């Protein structure tokens, strides 16, 4: 891996006690610094991490994943991060994808690389209905942000610390992904996509986004475009 310097993996989580430790251990095995932002979980998420060498910060109240990323990015930059990775806690993302994404960032002189489930080379057992919703949603994200990605709602991203400092996220909940893309465009950041592996487990399917909520997110994206 050709990316030198401090690499911080930000793991936002909410009620992930049964899976977050395994996710974090897989990242620690790769030698990364891990920063977990607990968005006021009501379960034993914090307890599950007590014996692990991670940076841990907890919100007093539940604010949403966008807020958790904002907290994590701010703290990682304070700790001297040269590169920042955002990584879901639920076990869907593959820690092996981080190194090639960092390589892609450096080799292509990019400032941020978005993971994609829909590029050639990616492997994902994404449910069919979910795939259709995401394919459709990318155009709403394009309308809201001005950037057309093949996978606009993937939480796996790699960025330089300088790029991260320009992503001043104010959208706490469902529209934070579109805002990140909008900020990338507004800041003229060089971006790329990279094929990643995403595994939908029984747990992640049960806990994940329902299709009816996806419809609400599309509506929220329209509001984001109108009122931002």
Nearest to 221 by CA among 164, 136, 163, 126: 136
Average pLDDT over residues 2-16: 88
Identify the band that residue 175 occupies on the pLDDT scale cut at 50, 70 and 90: confident
Contact call for residues 102 and 158 (beta carbons, < 8 A): yes
Distances (CA, A) of 191 to 7, 15, 64, 151, 187: 18, 32, 25, 13, 11
List pLDDT tens digits, range 121-131: 998 777 667 77
* Domain coordinates in residue numbering, the chain: 7-227
List pLDDT tens digits, range 56-84: 999 999 999 999 999 999 999 999 999 99
pLDDT of residue 51: 96
Listed range (3-12, 32-41, 86-95, 102-111) with the worst mean pLDDT: 3-12
* CATH tag for 7-227 (out of 3.30.1360.230, 3.90.550.10, 3.30.450.90, 3.40.50.300): 3.90.550.10
Asked if the model's pLDDT at residue 212 lies above 50, the reply is: no
């Amino acid at each position: 891996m050709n990316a030198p310097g401090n690499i911080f993996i930000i793991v936002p989580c909410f009620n992930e006690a049964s899976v977050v430790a395994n996710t974090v251990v897989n990242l620690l095995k790769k030698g990364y610094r891990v920063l977990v932002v607990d968005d006021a979980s009501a379960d034993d998420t914090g307890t599950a991490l007590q014996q692990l060498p991670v940076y841990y910060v907890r919100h007093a109240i539940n604010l949403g994943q966008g807020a958790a990323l904002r907290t994590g990015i701010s703290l990682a930059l304070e700790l001297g991060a040269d590169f920042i990775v955002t990584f879901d806690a639920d076990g869907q993302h593959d820690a092996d994808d981080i190194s090639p994404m960092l390589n892609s960032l450096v080799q292509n002189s990019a400032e941020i690389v978005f993971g994609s489930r829909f590029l050639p080379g990616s492997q994902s057992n994404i449910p069919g209905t979910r795939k259709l919703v995401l394919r459709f949603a990318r155009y709403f994200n394009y309308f809201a942000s001005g950037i057309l990605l093949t996978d606009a709602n993937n939480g796996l991203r790699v960025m330089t610390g300088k790029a991260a400092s320009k992503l001043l996220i104010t959208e706490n909940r469902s529209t934070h992904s579109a805002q990140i893309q909008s900020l990338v465009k507004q800041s003229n950041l060089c971006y790329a996509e990279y094929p990643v592996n995403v595994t939908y487990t029984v747990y992640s399917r049960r806990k994940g986004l329902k299709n009816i909520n996806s419809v609400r997110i599309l509506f929220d994206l329209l509001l984001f475009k109108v009122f931002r």
